[in-house]
């Protein structure tokens, strides 16, 4: 819980900067897409998406101050998605490389 008086203004002060950062990242993302580097653009695009997701998760979804159990649930989703990606792409990439 944040310290200080619980007023609407305090809530706005806590959340508005996050929103501003999200907007800035969005603008950066759209701008970066026009850079003349192909791979780098893709990487940047998804890195910025990751950063935005991190902000929303930690602040708006309150993972920052969530219980360990809730964090574990969130991590499980990501871990199993990683299994799915890693093993499937292991096949897809090696087939592409071999062909």
Partner 1 sequence: MSAPVAASPTGLADRDELDLGLPPSYLADGHGVGSWLLTTDHKRIAILYAVTITLFFFLGGAAATLVRLELFTPEADIVRADTYNKLFTLHGVVMVWFFLIPSIPNTLGNFLLPLMIGARDVAFPKLNLVSWYLNVGGGLLAVAALLAGGVDTGWTFYVPYSTVFSNGWVSLTVLGVFTTGFSSIATGVNFIATIHMLRAPGLSWFRLPLFVWAMYTTSLMFVLATPVLAVTLLLVFAERSFGLPIFDPARGGDPVLFQHLFWFYSHPAVYIMILPAMGVISELITCFARRRIFGYTFMVYALVAIAVIGFFTWGHHMFTSGMSSYAALVFSFLSFIVAVPSAIKVFNWTGTLYRGQVGFESPMLYALGFVGLFTLGGLTGLFLASIPVDVHVQDTYFVVAHFHYIMVGASVSAYFGGLHFWWPKITGRMYPETWARFAAILMFFGFNLTFFPQFIAGYLGMPRRYHVYPPEFQVWNVLSSSGAAVLAVAYLMPLGYLTWSLLFGERARNNPWDASGLEWRTSSPPPRDNFFGAPRVQGGPYSYHPEGVAPIHDQPRIPAQGSLT
Partner 2 sequence: MSGAPGEAGAAAHLREPWSELETGPAAAFARQRDGATFGIWIFLASEVLFFAALFLIYTAYRIANPEAFAAAGRATNIVYGTLNTAILLTSSLTMAMAAQGAEKGLFRRLTLGCLAATAALGLAFLVVKGFEYREDIEKHLVPGAHFALRQAPAQIFFGFYWLVTVVHAIHLGIGIGLVTRLLVKGWRDPDVLTENPQVEVTALYWHLVDLVWVFLYPMLYLPGRAG
Partner 3 sequence: MFARLMPEAASVQAGLTDRIFLGLTIVSGLTLALVVGLILVFAIRYRRGSKADRHPLPAIVSREFEIGWTAATIFLFLFVFWWAASAEIGAYSVPRDAIEIHVVAKQWMWKTQASNGAREINELHVPVNAPVKLILTSQDVIHSFYVPAFRLKRDALPDQLTETWFQATKTGTYGLLCTEYCGTDHARMLGRVIVMEPEDYARWLSAQPEGDDLAHQGERLFSERGCAGCHAPGSTVHAPDLAGIWGRPVPLEGGRIATADAAYIRDSILQPGRDVVAGYRPIMPSYAGLLSDGEIQALTAYLRGLGSAPAVARTPGLPDLRSNVPGSAPERSPAMVPGAPVQDRPAPAGPAVRP
Partner whose binding site includes residue 29, from partner 1, partner 3, partner 2, none (CB under 5 to 8 Å by kind): partner 2
Q: Does 91 bind partner 3 (CB under 8 A)?
A: no
Residue 90's binding partner, choosing from partner 3, partner 1, partner 2, none, with beta-carbon cut-off 5 to 8 A by kind?
Answer: partner 1
Say how far apart CA 82 and CA 63 lie, in whole Å.
Answer: 20
78 near partner 1, rule: CB under 8 A: no
Nearest approach in angstroms of CB 75 to partner 1 is 12
Please give the Cα distance from 87 to 99 (Å, whole number).
Answer: 19
Count CA within 13 A, CB hemisphere, residue 94. Answer: 5
């Amino acid at each position: 819980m944040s310290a200080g008086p619980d007023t609407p203004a305090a809530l706005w002060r806590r959340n508005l900067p996050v929103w501003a950062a999200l907007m800035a990242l969005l603008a950066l993302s759209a701008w970066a897409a026009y850079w003349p580097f192909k791979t780098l653009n893709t990487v940047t695009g998804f890195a910025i998406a990751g950063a935005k997701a991190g902000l929303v998760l930690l602040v708006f979804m309150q993972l920052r101050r969530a219980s360990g159990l809730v964090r574990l649930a969130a991590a499980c989703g990501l871990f199993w998605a990683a299994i799915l990606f890693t093993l499937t792409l292991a096949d897809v990439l090696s087939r592409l490389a071999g062909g």
